[in-house]
Amino acid sequence: MRLFTLSTILASLLWSAPIGGVSILVKNSPITLYEVQQEMKQSNTDAQQSADTLIRKKLEQLEAIDKKITVTPAEVDEELEKMATQNNLSKEQFLNAMLTVRGLDEKGLKKKIEENLRGQKLYSTIAFSKMGQPGADEEAEYYHLHLDDFSKPESFAVTTYSASTKEALQAKISDPMYNISGVDSKEETITYDSINPQLVQILNKTPQGNFTPIFPNGANGFMSFYLREKNNIVTENLDAVRPQITNAIMGEKRNQVLNDHFTRLRLSADIKVIRLPL
């Protein structure tokens, strides 16, 4: 009896500790402290937000296993080639652009593509009825609410800030009038056609008089643009961008279906939060 009692106590103590760096158990499948810390770093979110993101991803993985949904390396490579072609870039150019603008290397990008493809396949098994295509009024409403997405300036007048560390650059952005050692800047005009589509998207979404997010500069450092002005803006007409609008609306509807499904699934799932990073 004494041996049983001691074993029980030891088991209880071990269970209460973050064994092997386990942070969360989702249906007995672990999410490690390291994974939470990496998500915090990559998404710039706190521990709870990062944990929520990883719980959702884990539920998707387990759901995909349950439904025998797989994504092959060949499918990932095909999607990567398609994304590069859509941006009028070679695969190598596209990978370099994603590394520069979003800090994603090839391995990280392929992981995100795999997650996206798995989400698409999950959607097709989860949705119980086909979604109708958006009508003309819905497309027009989306168009007017997202005019910046369909606007094309001839060029961007910017001040480019660069530094060897993210911290130094963030200090400069927080107080532009303060001289920060190691931060270089120069004023320049960047033409629309001379930069990759990802950077165009970032600059388009940045209001004048504001900084872009910080991202790697491709030379072991970091950079950010202060957007002074968008020059000679031309907005594409609605008919020219209808296919793009249709895809965007259908994507939003698909995401809503998935979000609703996994919100319900999370409420009934066995999830244990053992410890989150401080």
Residues 20 and 60 in one domain: yes
Name the pairing type of β-strands 210-211 and 222-235: antiparallel
Q: Does the pLDDT of residue 111 top 70, yes or no?
A: yes
Give the integer Cα–Cα distance in Å for 224 and 214: 5
Residues 150 and 180 in one domain: yes
Residues 200 and 119 in one domain: no
Residues 16 and 56 in one domain: yes
Instruction: Check residue 86 and give its pLDDT.
Output: 80
Instruction: Check residue 130 and give its pLDDT.
Output: 59
Token pair listed for 115: 């997650």
Q: Does the pLDDT of residue 184 top 50, yes or no?
A: yes
At residue 19 the predicted structure's pLDDT band, cuts being 50, 70 and 90, is very low
Instruction: Check residue 119 and give its pLDDT.
Output: 82
Q: Domain residues for 28? A: 2-66
Residue that finishes a domain, picked among 49, 66, 83:
66
Q: Does the pLDDT of residue 232 top 90, yes or no?
A: yes
Total domains, the chain = 3
Tell me what the mean pLDDT of segment 258-276 comes to.
91
- How far, in Å, are 24, 58, 169 from residue 35 at the CA level? 10, 11, 26
**32 lies in a domain?**
yes
**138 lies in a domain?**
no
Residues 168 and 228 in one domain: yes
Instruction: Check residue 129 and give its pLDDT.
Output: 58
- How far, in Å, are 15, 107, 208, 271 from residue 22 at the CA level? 10, 24, 44, 13
State the DSSP H helix or E strand holding residue 186, giving kind and residue range, or none if neither. Answer: strand 183-191
Residues 15 and 49 in one domain: yes
Q: Does the pLDDT of residue 168 top 50, yes or no?
A: yes
Give the residue, 152 or 211, on which the prediction is more confident.
Answer: 211
**246 lies in a domain?**
yes
Which region among 31-40, 101-110, 149-158 has the lowest average model confidence (pLDDT)?
101-110
The CATH number given to whatever domain includes residue 196 is 3.10.50.40
Instruction: Check residue 47 and give its pLDDT.
Output: 92
Instruction: Check residue 58 and give its pLDDT.
Output: 92
The residue length of the chain stands at: 278
**173 lies in a domain?**
yes
Give the residue, 258 or 78, on which the prediction is more confident.
Answer: 78
**104 lies in a domain?**
yes
Instruction: Kindly tell me the sign of the dihedral angle through the C-alpha atoms of 30, 34, 39, 40.
Output: positive
Give the residue, 100 or 223, on which the prediction is more confident.
Answer: 223
Q: How high is the mean pLDDT of the chain?
A: 85
Residues 159 and 215 in one domain: yes
How far from chain centre, in Å, is Cα 150?
21
Residues 55 and 100 in one domain: no
Residues 190 and 262 in one domain: no
Tens-digit pLDDT profile for residues 144-157: 999 888 888 999 99
Token pair listed for 80: 């990567």
Question: What percent of the chain stands above pLDDT 70?
Answer: 91
Residues 62 and 90 in one domain: no
**136 lies in a domain?**
no
Tell me what the mean pLDDT of segment 90-111 comes to.
84
Residue that finishes a domain, picked among 19, 40, 66:
66
Q: Does the pLDDT of residue 3 top 70, yes or no?
A: no
Instruction: Check residue 7 and give its pLDDT.
Output: 41
Residues 225 and 151 in one domain: yes
At residue 95 the predicted structure's pLDDT band, cuts being 50, 70 and 90, is confident
**278 lies in a domain?**
no
**140 lies in a domain?**
no
Tens-digit pLDDT profile for residues 240-250: 999 999 989 98
Residue that finishes a domain, picked among 26, 43, 66:
66
Helix (H, G, I), strand (E, B) or coil at 233: strand
Residues 167 and 222 in one domain: yes
